[in-house]
Amino acid sequence: MIKELRGFEILDSRGRPTVMTKCVLSDGTIGSASVPSGASTGKAEALELRDGDASRYRGLGCLKAVANINNAIHSALIGKEFDNQEAFDNALIALDGTSDKHRLGANAILACSLAYARAKAKQEGVVLYKYFGRMTGNDDFQLPRPTINLFSGGKHAGGQIPVQDLLLVPVAAKTMDEALEQVHSVYLSASELIHEKYGMRALKADEGGLAPSFRNIDEMFEDAMKAIERAGLQPGKQMAMALDVASSHFYKEGKYDLGTEIRDSLGMIELIRSWVDAYPILSVEDGLAENDWEFWPHLKHTLQDKCLVLGDDLLCTQVARINRAVEEDAANALLLKVNQCGSLAEAAAALRAARNAGWQVTVSARSGETEDNWLADLATGWDGNQIKIGSIAQSDRLAKYNRMLELEQGDKLKIRDWIYPGN
């Protein structure tokens, strides 16, 4: 039974306000959780409620969302008993009563959803990842394989280059510890390379990726290859790459403005194919804009034999958009971000829709994170193929990696193999 739901305004990894909730059950069990926010957001995402008061945090305050937790949500749910997580979340969704959660705020609803999950797991004596596993019927727990930011551009790094992230995929690592050690070595090699090349240290982007002043996208790829080799690893065989193109952010009037050139949709697909042919790229996220639906099937058919065609802004962790992508054969993998839909129950439904289509799933953090580590348990409990947290350079990211190291060493969980196309 719910005794108390209390919200707090805290700061995320960018120093911007976000929401934390404490859930107290009738027996005194307490669970708390904080929620992230994104910089690169899809138009179909559930609404983060912000205050809009320009005199405070430039309008980004979350006091309205916190007040909704402490008043409307607390009053409606206090003294109530729920059969499961879905019932609790559905009560929140019904209380909000809007399609995009703009009344109470997706940040308020998700913080309550996660805090309740933590409290119930603790009350029932269940490890959090196993509690999450019950929501999706999973009891075969493995650690997701990490995809880790090396270089960043786009909205995560002030737009030095249009592509948002180049990530490392330690495909041959047998353990999470080995995977992180290999990435650490490449990250340091890249830092040294950039210092030698430019005579200065590279800035770090929102998620900890290095953000040097690349002259063009090809230079980014070439420096990544050099960093992998300098670390003593074989590109492709031991260390591969993934891309978050985030094309929606440079899609203007039906064209893709790459800064150095402008391409139509077919031209953009051809460019991405040239990257995949030239470099060991295993996943391409948002290769086209979120509303460029007509050409997504062509992108998928062009790349599907070589890499994942991953939908983020295209899908926004929304069942309806996933179903449309399945019907139109527009993707073969989901980037799952819980705050895009605003509750655990809805994210679990999105996961089921993707799994029913035979898709792979990458569970993802956001650019504005906190030190909370629930994402590691979620990705493990929901049988995520991959996890995308960010780089290994900031405590908000390391909290999740450290949780997976804890699960590997303490619970003896194994890391998932990379599933290649056709396997």
The verdict on 108 and 178 lying in the same domain is: no
- Condensed to tens digits (0 to 9), the pLDDT of residues 211-244 reads 888 889 999 999 999 999 999 999 999 999 999 9
Task: Answer yes or no: 207 catalytic.
Answer: yes
The verdict on 360 and 229 lying in the same domain is: yes
Task: Answer yes or no: 337 catalytic.
Answer: yes
CATH number, residue 56? 3.30.390.10
pLDDT of residue 205: 81
The verdict on 295 and 187 lying in the same domain is: yes
Secondary structure (H, E, C), the chain: CEEEEEEEEEECCCCCEEEEEEEEECCCCEEEEECCECCCCCCCCCCCCCCCCCCCHHHCCCHHHHHHHHHHHHHHHCCCCCCCHHHHHHHHHHHHCCCCCCCCCHHHHHHHHHHHHHHHHHHHCCCHHHHHHHHHCCCCCCECEEEEEEEECHHHCCCCCCCCEEEEECCCCCCHHHHHHHHHHHHHHHHHHHHHHHCCCCEECCCCCEECCCCCHHHHHHHHHHHHHHCCCCECCCEEEEEECCHHHHEECCEEECCCCEECHHHHHHHHHHHHHHCCEEEEECCCCCCCHHHHHHHHHHHCCCCEEEECCCCCCCHHHHHHHHHHCCCCEEEECHHHHCCHHHHHHHHHHHHHCCCEEEEECCCECCCCCHHHHHHHHCCCCEEECCCCCCHHHHHHHHHHHHHHHHCCCCECCCCCCCC
The verdict on 95 and 234 lying in the same domain is: no
pLDDT of residue 423: 62
The verdict on 343 and 402 lying in the same domain is: yes
The verdict on 43 and 159 lying in the same domain is: no
- Condensed to tens digits (0 to 9), the pLDDT of residues 146-186 reads 999 999 987 655 556 899 999 999 999 999 999 999 999 99
The verdict on 115 and 173 lying in the same domain is: no
Name the pTM for this structure. 0.96
Domain assignment of residue 415, yes or no: no
The verdict on 169 and 278 lying in the same domain is: yes
Domain of residue 103 covers 2-125
- Please pick, among 120, 300, 337, 400, the residue that the annotation labels catalytic: 337
Domain closes at, from 75, 95, 125:
125
pLDDT of residue 197: 87
- Please pick, among 207, 285, 290, 346, the residue that the annotation labels catalytic: 207
Domain closes at, from 73, 93, 125:
125
pLDDT of residue 208: 84
Domain count, the chain: 2
Domain assignment of residue 14, yes or no: yes
Domain closes at, from 57, 91, 125:
125
The verdict on 274 and 399 lying in the same domain is: yes
pLDDT tens digits for the chain (423 residues)?
999 999 999 999 999 999 999 999 999 999 999 999 876 567 889 999 999 999 999 999 999 999 999 999 999 999 999 999 999 999 999 999 999 999 999 999 999 999 999 999 999 999 999 999 999 999 999 999 999 999 998 765 555 689 999 999 999 999 999 999 999 999 999 999 999 988 777 777 878 889 888 889 999 999 999 999 999 999 999 999 999 999 999 999 999 999 889 999 999 999 999 999 999 999 999 999 999 999 999 999 999 999 999 999 999 999 999 999 999 999 999 999 999 999 999 999 999 999 999 999 999 999 899 999 999 999 999 999 999 999 998 999 999 999 999 999 999 999 999 988 766
CATH number, residue 362? 3.20.20.120
The verdict on 51 and 186 lying in the same domain is: no
The verdict on 193 and 115 lying in the same domain is: no
The verdict on 214 and 322 lying in the same domain is: yes
